[in-house]
Amino acid sequence: MAINERLLAEDSRINERIRPINVYQQFILVKADATITFFNITIPSAIKDQAGPLLEDFINSIYLFDGLPEVNS
């Protein structure tokens, strides 16, 4: 096998191992004025351990934008 072919094969195996897997989070936000919003968020698997805090920050930013109090952790 030529060097270039070997490098391509090796690169392909590496890409297969690190292929990102997405984590899907779905939630419904019901605000005080009875507005209901459905969210479907894709979080890369590389940061899936941080999904909880990211979603809390996202929800809090929506509430703060609307002048509502923050969600308690």
CB neighbour list of residue 64: distance below 8 Å, 6 or more residues apart: 70
pLDDT tens digit sequence for 3-27: 555 555 555 554 455 555 666 666 6
pLDDT in tens, 40-69: 777 777 777 777 787 778 777 776 666 555
**Tokens for 51?**
């999904």
Q: What is the pTM of this model?
A: 0.38
Which residues, at least 6 apart from 62, have a Cβ–Cβ distance to it below 8 Å?
A: 29
